Structure 1
Amino acid sequence: MSDDGARYYGPYTSVWAVHQTLDVLRRIFPYLTCDREITGGDARACLYYDIKLCTAPCIGMINQAGYRQMIDDLGQFLEGRTEPIVTRLRADMNQAAEALNFERAAALRDQIQAIERVVEKQKVVSSDYIDSDVVAMARTDGEACVQVFFIRSGKLIGREYFLMEGAAESPDADVITGFLKQFYDQAPNVPPEVLLPTEIEEMNIIREWLNSRRGGQKVELHIPRLGPQQELMQMAAENASATLSALQAQWQADTHRQEQALAELQTALDLPEAPNRIECYDISNTQGTAAVGSMVVFEQGVPKKSLYRRFNIRSVSGPDDFASMEEVLTRRFSRWQATQDASQAPGKKPDPAFSLLPDLLLVDGGKGQLSRAEAVLERFELTGRFFLASLAKHNEELFIPGQSESLLLPRHSQALYLVQRVRDEAHRYAITSHRQRRDKAGIASQLDTVPGIGPMRRKALLAHFGGLQQIRQASTEELLTIPGITIKLAQAIRETLGQE
C-alpha cells in the first residue's frame, strides 16, 4: 500500500468483491469515474449522468463543496458509520421539500433508502459500539484458513477469508502471528481492538507495532473466553471451517482440469510422460536486502505445500537475481545429493522436498535465469534428467535450453493456466518469505546495532518492555533489572537508541 496521501480501503481477497462493492457504492454515491478536467462549464454531461451514476460536476450540477461532502460520506459508509450520513440526508431532504424542490427531495429519499437497504443486512453484534476485528482460524489436511470479521460501530459490516501458505507444520500461534504481520502491514486502518483465537508469543511486540500503525493510538489484543465476544469468535471460526470445506470441494472438482493441463503440457514440451512433479523457483528482495528464494512444488497439478521451502540468500550482495537463483538451485541440489548419500545410512529419513527430482523445473524469469539454472544442473551432472524451462512474465513465454525461439503456449489453454499458477505461487511465496524476513530484521535491527546485545538479551528486552519505544524511554535503573544487562550495556542502549 503506497503512502501517497490517498485513503485506502480493504484488503479484498477477490476482484469480484471489489467490483461488487463499487457497484453498490456508485448507486448510493454517484462519484466521478472519468479523467476529464472539471471546470463546471462543459456543454453537456456524459451518459452516466443520465442513468444516475454520476452527479455531473463537469456541467456544474454539483459544486466542489457538495462533491467533497459526498466523498466524505462514501468514506464514512465504508467505515460502517452510516447514522450521521442518514441524519444529515434526512435534514437535506426535508429542507428541499420545504423549498418545493421535489426532484432533489426525491433523489435524497432514494439515496437514504439505498443506504438503509445495505445497513439492514449488517448484523448488530455489539451494544458498546467499539470498532474491532475478529480473527479466527480453521485447519484441515495441512491447509489453514483465517477468517476476519470487521465490526464497526457495533455492526458486522464485512468479512474476508485468507488462505495461509506453508502453514502445514506451523503451530496455530505462529500462523496467527504471521497473518497479523502480513494483514496489518497492508491494511489501510487498524481498529482499537483485535480479538484473537489464541495467545501468541510476540503479543507485546505485535501490540506495539499495531500502535505505531495506528498513529500512536492504543490497540488492544484480546483472547475472548466468555460472552458475546467469544460467541463472535466461534461464529468466525465456523465461517472459516465452512469456507475451507467449500474450497477443498472446489479443488477436488478441478481434478479433470489438472489432468487436462498436465496432458497439454506433456504434448507442448514433448515430454515422455506427464510432468507429475513440477518445481518452480523465484527470488524476492528489496534493493538487494533480505533476499529470499522460494521453492514451490506441485504434484499432479496441485500445490504440495508441505514441500515448499525458502532459502535466505547468503552469498550475494546487492540486487543480483541471477546469482541468487544460482545459489538457491545449488543449495537445492546439494541437498538432493546429500539425501542420496544418506539413503545408504540406516534409520535416517530423507527430506521429501529434496530427495526427489522434478519432472519439470521452472525458474521465474528469462534467458539470464535459465542460463544460471543450466550451469547448476551441469555442475551436478543432472542435465537431461528432467525438463528445464524459464517463464518470462512479459509475454508469458517459455525459454528452453538449446532453442533460440521461445515457446508460447496457447493463450487460453489449461497448460498455460497451470504454469502461470505455479509461477505466481512461487512469486507469492517468495514475497511472503521476504516480507517476514524483512519485518523480523526491522524489529531487531536497531537493537542489534548496540554492542553486546545478542539474540537472548534482545529477546529479554523486548519481552520485558514490549517494544523499542518503551526501551528508549526506560531509565538506566529499569534497564539494569533485565538479566544480563550491565551498567555499560544499559548506557550503550540509551546512547544508541537515543540517537534517533
Structure 2
Amino acid sequence: MINIKVLKNAPKTAGVYLFKKVGLPLYVGKAANLKKRLASYFRKNASEKILRLVQEATKLEWIETESEIEALLKEAELIKKYRPKYNILMRDDKNYFYVGITRLRPRFVKATPGEQGSGGQAKEEFPRIFVTHQPAGLQTINHKLQTQHIGPFTSGSALKETLRLLRRIFPYCTCAKPHKRQCLNSQIGRCFGYCCLQRNQQHPYKLEYVGMLTDAKQEYVRNIQSVVRILQGKQTKIATELKREMRIATVQQDFERAAKLRDQIAGLENVFSHRQFLEVRLPRGSRTSKTTRWYKIKQVLQSILGEKNKISRVEGYDISNISGTEATGSMAVFIDGRPAKSEYRKFKIKTVRGANDVAMLKEVIGRRLRHGEWAYPDVLLIDGGKPQLSAARAILRKSDFPREVRLPKVAALAKKEEELYTEKKEQPIRLSALPRETALFLQRVRDESHRFAKKYHHKLREKLYRGE
C-alpha cells in the first residue's frame, strides 16, 4: 500500500502518473495538476476500485510534462505500451478514443486490387483524420477504408480539442465526400479544399489538373504526417525539422515559405505551452473551476470591450444564404460562459432581396430587439468585420431600450483573419493576442451561431427543392 506522505513531493504541474506493483504499472492517468489529482486518490470517500488500486500498488511515480496536451499524448503512449490492469477494469474498449487516419492512395491512379486491404478495405486519395471509439476502420456506404489508428486516449473532448488546435497549424480536409462548392473551412484556411475538387467525370485525369495539384498535394500529405507524428509524441522532432526547413527557405530567399514555416513553429510552441487545457474538461458537478474560468474570461471581455458592469449574457449572430436565396439568421446564447440552447433563436429573412449580409444582419438584430420578453444581452458578437459591427451599432442606437437597461457592447469576429473588431479600438485585435480561454470562448460563440444559421438555411433549401 502506498503511503500518503509520498504526495509531499508531488509537483503542481501537468503530467502523467503511474501506480505500480513490482515495477509494472497498474494504472496510468494524466493531470493538469499532479499534486491535486493524486490527492484525490487518498480521500475517504473514494470509490471501491480506487481504494483497491491504492492498497494493491506499492509505488507511485509521475512524469512531468510541459503542457496538458503533452500529458494527454504521453498517457496514451503508456496505456498502449503496458495495458495496465486498472485502466482496463475502469473502462471498456468503447470508452476509449482513437484517432483514425485513412491510408493514402495516389489521387490520379485508379485503385487496383493490390491496393485493397483485408476484407475489401480501400485506400483514399487524400487521407482524412477522424475520432472513433473502436479501431475497426471507417465504414462508408460501399466499403471500409484502410486506416491507421493512434491511441487509446481517455478523453474524447480533450482529444478533439487537440486535433482542432493542430488543424489550425497543419490544415487538412474533414469533409466526408467530395463536392463541387468550396467548403467553409477552405475559405478560412483550415482545409486545402480537396474535398471540394469533385472530379470531372469525363476527364478525371487531365495532365494540367495533375500538375496544378502536385506540389499542394505533397504539402497536404506532409501536414497529415506531421499531425500523426505529433499524436505519437514526436512534436519536438517536428519543431526541429520545421526550423531547419525555415533556415533553408530563408537562404534560398523563398520568404513566403519561410514565413509559413515560422507561423507553424510558433503555433506548435503555443499549443504545447498551453497550460489551461485539461482543466476545461471537468467531471459533472465540478462547478468551482468552471466559475473561476468564466470569471477570468469575463474580466478580459470587460477590458477589451470597455464594459465596467458585469457580463453574463453573450449573444452570437450569423447570416447564412447562397446568393440571397433562403437567407436565414441565427442567435446563439451563452450565459456565464455556457451555451443556453433553449434560448437560441432562428430568423427567416423577410425584407432583404439579394445577397446583402449587412442588411440581413440589421433585420435580424432589429427583430430580436423587439422581443422585450427575452432577456437583454450584455454583449452582441457578430460574425463578420467592420461593416457588420457598424450595422449592429446603428440598429442599437435606433432601438427603444428601457431606461434601466444599458445598451449591450458589440464586437465582430472575422473568420478568415481571426480578428476581433470592437467599439473601443480603431484597429482589430488578433485572437492570438488574447488569453487562450477568451479566444476559445469567442470562437465557440461565433462557430455556434454559424452552425445554427447554416442548419436552418439547409432545412429551408431542402423544403424548397421538395416543393413544400
- Measured against the shorter chain, the TM-score band is 0.3 to 0.5
Please give the TM-score of this superposition, normalised by the length of structure 1.
0.39
Query: Which of the two has higher C-alpha Rg?
Result: 1
